[in-house]
Amino acid sequence: MLKIYHVQGTRSVRPIWLCYELDLSLQIETIDFSQTYRDTHQWRAISPAGKVPVMTDTDTDAEVTLFESGAMVDFILERYANGRLHPPRGTAASAIHHQWCWFSEATLIRPLGLNRILRTPASGAESLAADGLNKTHNALQAVEQALQDRNYLLGAEFGAADIMMGYSLVLLEKFKLLEDKYPNTQRYLSRLKDRENFARAMQA
């Protein structure tokens, strides 16, 4: 059974809309969007960066909790869509499908958050910087937590998710955001940097 922790009008619309299009049964739980609730241990236990949405699947052979809307869409498509609403994997059309999915979140709407902060009264560059820093540290806590019992994001084996994460961490390190904090993340980044192909890619 799919369950989506929802706040009206937020990114939880994505997985909910997809479930509706695929006619999947779904449980929706509306949560309190206040910062106070999102900072509770209870919420951080399922949403380590304190954000919305979260989706769980309690199906016994695919039990999973996800806290990134694009990953929810991917999972629902892979597991429940039977080829509907996305092109076959490995095709050029599939590559374009993935590109638009990533672009929608990572490139198109990310700057919107900054715009909203700039428009609120009594805000400016300082509050913008503080908010950005705060959100980055919240997200880094999610990475730190994920790495507490494993060498790589998915477990013992290195994979493509570590390549995506590795580059982001290199940038965060460059801006000195990992200093004296996040021991698991720092060890992980060293492990990634030890890979010959990381050095090759950075020098390419």
Ligand X SMILES: N[C@@H](CCC(=O)N[C@@H](CS)C(=O)NCC(=O)O)C(=O)O
- Return residues touching ligand X (CB under 6 A): 10-11, 51-53, 68-70, 105, 135
Whole-number minimum distance, CB 16 to ligand X, in Å?
A: 12
Looking at residue 31, its amino acid is I
Whole-number minimum distance, CB 193 to ligand X, in Å?
A: 26
Nearer to ligand X, 8 or 60 (CB): 8
Whole-number minimum distance, CB 12 to ligand X, in Å?
A: 7
Nearest 5°: phi and psi at 54?
-130, 145
Whole-number minimum distance, CB 38 to ligand X, in Å?
A: 7
Whole-number minimum distance, CB 190 to ligand X, in Å?
A: 27
Distance CA 30, CA 9 (A): 11
Whole-number minimum distance, CB 177 to ligand X, in Å?
A: 17
Nearer to ligand X, 112 or 160 (CB): 112
Distances (CA, A) of 25 to 12, 28, 75, 120: 16, 10, 15, 39
Please give the structure tokens belonging to residue 132.
Answer: 């950005």
Please give the structure tokens belonging to residue 157.
Answer: 């084996």
DSSP 32-83: --SHHHHTSHHHHTT-TT--S-EEEE--GGG-EEE--HHHHHHHHHHHHSTT
Nearer to ligand X, 53 or 166 (CB): 53
Distances (CA, A) of 146 to 13, 110, 155, 184: 26, 23, 9, 9
Nearer to ligand X, 52 or 165 (CB): 52
Nearer to ligand X, 74 or 105 (CB): 105
105: Cβ contacts below 8 Å, ≥ 6 apart: 11, 69, 70
Nearer to ligand X, 31 or 170 (CB): 31
